[in-house]
Amino acid sequence: MKKYLLVLAIGILCLAYSSAQNLGDNEFQRAGRAYEKQATEAMDSGDYEGATKLADLAAIEYRKSREFAEAQLLRFRAASAINLAQITIKDLENVQRIRKEYPTELANANALLAEARALYAEGKWVESREKALASIDALKGISGVKAPVANSSGKALPRYYVVVSRPQNTDCYWNIAGMSAVYGNPLFWPKLWKANLEAMRDPENPDLIFPGMIVEIPSIDGETREGTYDPSVSYPSLDK
């Protein structure tokens, strides 16, 4: 009975490892795998008490791994929100009329963005992301921006896409570019990669995009884009 419970406990650890692996590899996860391997070896040799202790240590490391990875995910989301705010403000400041007519809105947005950066530097990821999004909201009062007409249907195509994690067919530039609301052709993935280098962990590796990252979708055929991709919306295909 004791051996059965130990086998069950190690099996649960394997599931915990699989879940943690989806959040990213780190030193805690590697330590957990080492303890798990030692626990299995101890059990096979009949040292059930030692195996139990090692399994407990593995569980502790896997918990630390999940906590670390979740914190990193919050960090990346904050960084993506800051990046989105920077892009939005920059685009509007590049329009002379808007700079002249809406100095207060732009100043407020820049002030909130500065707060977001300060909070990010302090490691306050959630608060940083909220300030960055508030910076974008501060620009909603600006009117007269070019109407978002994407194609003959008159419906707008998305300008941003938030990367999500899936067990299968996970997000990558290839898959995102192939979406009908994006380019409808995965071969255009380098366009996404080059437009989002500053938001990436390793700009030279296009495979390293992460859940929560906000991918900017640059125009490829003169279409105007706005807003963030919403899976509940039925977007028209890009006219080519």
- Write down the pTM of the prediction: 0.48
SS (H, E, C) the chain: CHHHHHHHHHHHHHHHHHHHHHHCCCHHHHHHHHHHHHHHHHHHCCCHHHHHHHHHHHHHHHHHHHHHHHHHHHHHHHHHHHHHHHHHHHHHHCCHHHHHHCHHHHHHHHHHHHHHHHHHHCCCHHHHHHHHHHHHHCCCCCCCCCCCCCCCCCCCECCEEECCCCCCCCCCHHHHHCCCCCCCCHHHHHHHHHHCHHHCCCCCCCCCCCCCCEEECCCCCCCCECCECCCCCCCCCCCC
pLDDT, one tens digit per residue, over 38-87 is 888 888 888 888 888 888 888 888 888 777 777 777 887 788 788 778 87
With the CA atoms of 101, 222, 86 and 144 taken in that order, what torsion angle do they form, in degrees rounded to the nearest 10? 20
pLDDT, one tens digit per residue, over 105-135 is 999 999 999 999 999 999 998 899 889 888 8
Domain segments of the chain as ranges: 2-71, 148-240
Q: Residue 22's pLDDT is what?
A: 40
